[in-house]
Amino acid sequence: MDSLSITDFRCFSGQHEVVLRPLTLVIGENSTGKTSLLPAIRIANDIRFERTPRFNQPPFLMGAFEDIVSRHSPKFSVGVSVGRVSVGSAESLRIAVDFVASDSEPVIDTLTASWSNITCSFRDESGKKLAKLVVNGVTVLENYEFRRMASLELSSWSYLLQFLAWAMEEEKKQDKELIRSIGRVAQYN
């Protein structure tokens, strides 16, 4: 894990990125968020390894959604960046999860994976699992329904990463028209 990103998480309003090294020291005044970083790192690690995030297991008892989200925001996000995923690559894979409240508990709202200039995301809307693909800042696919996913959970990363790999391969071919037509995405559905 190269970095942690958090948005509207506990005392951290807005988006923040923390670079992680083999030895990372966290220093600051009292009540500045040092202790909040530890459960965020654990949640990011859970996300990275497709485990259900543990919000209320010792030693980090974070409470209900309202206790975790910053200043009554409708959602919070936790993400991780993993560098040099392929040999010789200086780029990193970024994965993130947006959480919203359901019965006062945090539940997954959106899964996002980014590599280079391509971003793929899945979100749950009224029981439908919808995909979005952005290449070079241009949305080339939006609200594409993935029917094979029964629920949006961290095990859905395999679908998302397949989708990202497919989009990267198409981008390498420089076949923009094929990406725009996006008909072949159905093979992942």
Instruction: State pLDDT tens for residues 42-71.
Output: 999 888 887 888 899 898 999 999 999 998
What distance lies between CA 19 and its chain's CA centroid? 17
Q: How far apart are CA 124 and CA 130, in angstroms?
A: 6
What 3-state class would DSSP assign to 185? helix
What local confidence, expressed as pLDDT, does residue 155 receive? 61
Instruction: Give the helix/strand (H/E) hosting 46.
Output: helix 34-48
Q: How far apart are CA 23 and CA 3, in angstroms?
A: 13
Instruction: State pLDDT tens for residues 127-183.
Output: 777 888 888 888 888 887 766 555 666 666 666 777 777 776 766 665 555 444 444
- Could you give the percent of the chain with pLDDT greater than 90? 30
Model-level pTM greater than 0.85? no
The answer to whether 50 and 155 have CB atoms below 8 angstroms apart is yes
What local confidence, expressed as pLDDT, does residue 65 receive? 96
| Tokens representing residue 25 in the block | 């020291």
Average pLDDT over residues 13-39: 90
Asked if residue 58 has a cis previous peptide bond (ω within 30° of 0), the answer is no
What local confidence, expressed as pLDDT, does residue 98 receive? 94
